Amino acid sequence: MPERTDRSTPTTDDAADPGPAGHPATADHPGPAGQDPARAAHQAELARTREFFGARAAGWDAKFPDDGPRYAAAVAELGLRPGQRVLDAGCGTGRALPALRAAVGPDGAVTGVDVTPEMLAEAAAHRAEATLLLADCAELPLPDAAFDAVFAAGLISHLPAPALALRELARVTRPGGLLALFHPVGRAALAARHGRQITPDDLRAEPNLRPLLAAAGWELASYTDEDDRYLALGRRTG
């Protein structure tokens, strides 16, 4: 999934999703169908993500025309072999799909999942390398241990419940399989691009990411955070 400017604080284009009668989801107004507050907040964050990316999907690839080689290099780090099965979690417009298909070959399986219909429509229109699913990464309609590897570009910053989604990605990955958390620029460069500074609570920082992954069933195998690439590789434990 591409990077949103600020996940936690909506911009003018990224308005909050109200609960019933215009109220935010709270204990008194728990959201649709009597959802508990945590569930309602999760759904509201997904709605904000869909709103943000849905409005930008058609022109997204044109904004980042030079990222292709970086995606290909990150996919290569997974060491995929012909015939393997790989999931692109938060696939967006599908920029990683050609490299993933090339890695697993015609006998392999590539599945792309995203929560924004417009992003998937762009992927379907321009890239035929994968089976595409509209789904929340925290609730995947996929069987246990279905994949040899997971690729996730820009995903973790947009997860309403990162621990929950990382556990779900672990569920659908076989023991020993790899997870690649990728971004085509590093944390400092990305923050500078948006006029921000890195904060100590950034989940992508190694001291924060390592225990988060461990609690979800992954062991952090390698970590790179440079100006022109962010790549954390996790190995499925168990």
Segment 142-189, tens digit of pLDDT = 999 999 999 999 999 889 999 999 999 999 999 999 999 999 999 999
Of 10-24, 138-152, 194-208, the one with minimum mean pLDDT is 10-24
| Predicted model pTM | 0.83
The mean-pLDDT minimum among 18-22, 110-114, 142-146, 217-221 falls in 18-22
By CB atoms closer than 10 A (0-12, 13-18, 19+), residue 184 is buried
Q: Give pLDDT, residue 238.
A: 86
Residue type, 102: A
Please tell me the least confidently modeled range out of 22-26, 35-39, 176-180, 185-189. 22-26
> pLDDT above 70 covers what percent of the chain?
85
Nearest to 234 by CA among 135, 165, 142: 165
Q: How much is the mean pLDDT over the chain?
A: 86
Q: Which two tokens stand for residue 58?
A: 């058609």
Would you report the helix, strand and coil content of the chain in percent, each value rounded to 5? Answer: 40, 20, 40
* Inter-CA distances, 21 with 18, 32, 36, Å: 8, 11, 17
| CA–CA dist 235, 94 (Å, integer) | 23
High-pLDDT (> 90) share of the chain, % = 74
Tokens of residue 69, six digits: 């080689």
Helix residue ranges per DSSP H, the chain: 37-54, 60-63, 68-77, 97-104, 117-126, 162-171, 187-193, 206-216
111 contacts 173 by C-beta, under 8 angstroms? no
In this predicted structure, what is the pLDDT of residue 8?
Answer: 31
- The residue type of 49 is T
Residue pair 149/86 in contact by the 8 Å Cβ criterion: yes
Helix (H) or strand (E) holding 133: strand 131-134
Distance CA 134, CA 199 (A): 32
Is 133 a residue whose pLDDT tops 50? yes
**Euclidean distance between CA atoms 100 and 85, whole angstroms:** 9
Checking if the pLDDT of 3 tops 70, the result is no
Distances (CA, A) of 157 to 121, 124, 131, 133, 176: 22, 24, 24, 20, 25
- Residue 113 in tokens: 């999942």
Model confidence at 71, pLDDT cuts 50, 70, 90, reads very high
What does DSSP say about strands 218-226 and 173-183: parallel, antiparallel, or unpaired? unpaired
Instruction: Identify any residues that bridge with 181 across adjacent strands, giving them in sequence order.
Output: 152, 232
